[in-house]
Amino acid sequence: MTTARIAVIGLGSMGFGMAVSLVRAGFAVVGYDVVAANAQRLADAGGDVAATPAAAAAGADAVVCVVVNAAQTEAILFGADGCAATMAPGAVFISCATMAPDAVRALAARLEAQGAHYLDAPISGGAARAAEGKLTVLASGSAAAFARARPVLQALAATLHELGDAPGIGAGFKMVNQLLAGVHIAAACEAVAFGASLGLDLRKLYEVITGSAGNSWMFENRVPHILDADYAPRSAVNIFTKDLGIVLDMARSAPLAVPMAGSALQLFLMTAAAGMGRDDDASVARLFAMISGVQLPEGQ
């Protein structure tokens, strides 16, 4: 199946990069975002823009939804001017938001009852990889949903994990990833603050740790933000107050103890409460600095 027209709903740092990757791959891309400037960026990059999700989805073979959570996904699908009203039978909705598996299953059931397909496809990799078409996609859904979505996903992902035949499975894998990501970010920030308290050269510390067994992908990716005192949000603190909150809710329902995820969540919540919720998630290091009085690099 050659997908000629793709709608991308949500043109923030991830969605914009994904839309540009699809344009580069030769698809006809139409985008929608509540922020007019984001839509204009897509127009400047060779895509078309629509005034509503419904208008974007009309005539599209696939709708890629890159919003924050289940509530926003539901609004995009079933709210005023939602996609579900205009999606053609057989079109596929590719849902990239991070949400609990139960929420995914409920949304998928509603959409599939209308004759469209729902692919649970949370993403990992960050804005830079989105723009390069090199994301990791953790996908699950019916064989028909995969068949419709696969050409789109091949343009967006370096790694596509096909994890099961029903929506919700991909979401479960993503929540495990988010547990680890949140804990690793918090640990990296704690480690940098600890190094600062010892009077260590933090750039040399970064060099040493990234070549040592204590390294993690998050340490390697986030610590440069601290070293440069650059807290512009690539991924905001509030993303992890949401995602780790979902982890804790799921664990409580299991029930399962997740003490490290719980501790990391409290650090992100404190960072948000200190006024840094919309800043880069490496701002947890600034929380440690505020609490302990250690000195971190300052911006120019």
Q: In what order do the strands lie in the sheet with 157-162?
A: 123-124, 135-139, 157-162
Of these residues, 134, 174, 204, 242, which one is catalytic? Answer: 174
174 is annotated as an active-site residue: yes
Strand partners, 8: 31, 64
Task: Characterise 279 by phi-psi region: left (phi > 0), alpha (psi -120 to 50), beta (else).
Answer: beta
With the C-alpha atoms ordered 6, 11, 12, 18, is the resulting torsion angle positive or negative?
positive
Structure tokens at 186: 């918090």
Task: Characterise 133 by phi-psi region: left (phi > 0), alpha (psi -120 to 50), beta (else).
Answer: left
Between strands 157-162 and 62-65, the pairing is unpaired
Distance from C-alpha of 82 to C-alpha of 56, rounded to nearest angstrom: 10
| Helix axes of 259-271 and 284-292: crossing angle, nearest 10 degrees | 80
3-state helix vs strand vs coil in the chain, percent to 5: 55, 15, 30
For residue 299, with 0-12 CB atoms within 10 Å meaning exposed, 13-18 middle and 19 or more buried, which class applies?
exposed
Distance from C-alpha of 173 to C-alpha of 239, rounded to nearest angstrom: 17
Distance from C-alpha of 59 to C-alpha of 88, rounded to nearest angstrom: 7
Catalytic residues: 174
